[in-house]
Amino acid sequence: MSRLYDSRKRILVTGGAGFIGSHLVDRLLGEGHEVLCVDNLFTGTKRNIEHLHDNPRFEFMRHDVTFPLYVEVDEIYNLACPASPVHYQHDPVQTTKTSVHGAINVLGLAKRLGCKVLQASTSEVYGDPEVHPQVEGYWGHVNPVGPRSCYDEGKRCAETLFFDYHRQHGVEIKVARIFNTYGPRMHHADGRVVSNFLVQALRGEDITLFGDGRQTRSFCYVDDLVEGLVSLMATGPEVTGPVNLGNPHEFTMRELAERVIALTGSGAEMSERPLPLDDPRQRRPDITLARDLLDWTPRVELAEGLAETMHYMKRRLAELDEVTRT
Ligand code: NAD
Ligand code: UDP
Ligand code: UDP
């Protein structure tokens, strides 16, 4: 949609009240754009966006993306979808609907408006990968009928829809395959490993290490990820992705637990729990494509990012303690 008065864009961010979405919204507002944040607040919270309440360029709409959405915007970032295994397995049918019906609706919207649309896809499309590190050309190793399938297959189907709307209807698409991202505003009870370990260590509780802790992940700090998303959106129509976005430094979950214990100075002990079904054994992005296409590379290493996240979690836990005392 071309605007009459200025070159400022009006940008839709679905899932904008979530962890990554709220940082993206901050970034886009900081660049002078108008942002429409659409979220059903399933895992996101108003707290993540409450600092934007008085910003005249910010608008919040409570809406579920599985239903059609008729708005006028110039660009769309589609982030709506629970990302933590605990949350996406809570209502798996709704998770698949969110990815699939949500994709159809934002693509229909982008088709009508003739605007760019970016999909927050995931490293989970590679499943429990047999190729390491993961390159975009790898088709993945995904169980279609397991407890993670609602998320993995939902996101895979969303990618299919993005590419079919592109080929069939000429919609300008950008598909980002996001690897494990962490940082402030992750929900303290989110269930993901970084928030779990930090909260447990800060509370002096046992650190729940699933399996033997030798499985690996590569953790990207949220500011780096947002930079990658914005850079991908800024590319010309020839760039569709999929493009991996993540930090290639790989850690075992035992190493992560050790780092969290050292950082927090906690006396917490590790306590081994059963490994969840289909938990990927290894994960690390090959980011050659992102480096070449976007000139993007993550800057924040785990020590720095974990410290920032710990400060945030400390503040959140203190606020929660205050609420229970009063
Ligand atoms: P999050 O759970 O904090 O954010 C997801 C947001 O989507 C929440 O605000 C939630 O309320 C909203 N939402 C969920 N279902 C919705 C629906 N049907 N309609 C409208 N809103 C809905 O998770 P996040 O980590 O910020 O993830 C954001 C996106 O990035 C997700 O699409 C996720 O799959 C993707 N992603 C995240 C990671 C990661 O490590 N954080 C990795 C890969 C991909
Ligand atoms: N849609 C929407 N907003 C729009 C245009 C479409 O939410 O501005 C939704 C609508 O639910 C539609 C879907 O996107 O069913 C797919 O749109 P498309 O034009 O591809 O298909 P059709 O309208 O033929 O179903
Ligand atoms: N994990 C863990 N303890 C926890 C939560 C997660 O050991 O309290 C492990 C989990 O089994 C997985 C890794 O940490 O191997 C990352 O889990 P997360 O849920 O953060 O994301 P995933 O990458 O599996 O989607």
pLDDT tens for 182-198 read 999 999 999 999 999 99
How far from chain centre, in Å, is Cα 256? 20
Active centre residues (catalytic): 151
Q: Give CA–CA dist 125/274, Å, rounded.
A: 23
* Tens-digit pLDDT profile for residues 94-135: 999 999 999 999 999 999 999 999 999 999 999 999 999 999
Q: Which atom of ligand 1 is nearest to the CA of 16?
A: 9
Give yes or no for residue 68 CB within 6 A of ligand 2. Answer: yes
Q: Taking each helix axis from N to C terminus, what angle separates 302-325 and 253-264, rounded to the nearest 10 degrees?
A: 60
- Any residues with Cβ below 6 Å from ligand 3, and which? 84-85, 180, 192-193, 196, 208-210, 215, 217, 253, 276, 279
Q: Give CA–CA dist 268/73, Å, rounded.
A: 49
Give yes or no for residue 63 CB within 6 A of ligand 2. Answer: no
Q: What is the CATH number of domain 2-182+220-246+277-299?
A: 3.40.50.720
Give yes or no for residue 193 CB within 6 A of ligand 1. Answer: no
Give yes or no for residue 69 CB within 6 A of ligand 2. Answer: yes
What integer pLDDT is reported at residue 7 of this predicted model? 75
What is the SS3 string spanning the chain? CCCCCCCCCEEEEECCCCHHHHHHHHHHHHCCCEEEEEECCCCCCHHHHHHHCCCCCEEEEECCCCCCCCCCCCEEEECCCCCCHHHHCCCHHHHHHHHHHHHHHHHHHHHHHCCEEEEEEEHHHHECCCCCCECCCCCCECCCCCCCHHHHHHHHHHHHHHHHHHHHHCCCEEEEEECCEECCCCCCCCCCHHHHHHHHHHCCCCEEEECCCCCEEECEEHHHHHHHHHHHHCCCCCCCCCEEECCCCEEEHHHHHHHHHHHHCCCCCEEEECCCCCCCCCCCECCHHHHHHHCCCCCCCHHHHHHHHHHHHHHHHHHHHHHHHC
Domain boundaries, the chain: 2-182+220-246+277-299
Confidence of residue 1 (pLDDT cuts 50, 70, 90): very low
% of the chain beyond a pLDDT of 90? 95
165, pLDDT greater than 50? yes
Atom 11 of ligand 2 has which residue's CA nearest to it? 68
Confidence of residue 324 (pLDDT cuts 50, 70, 90): confident
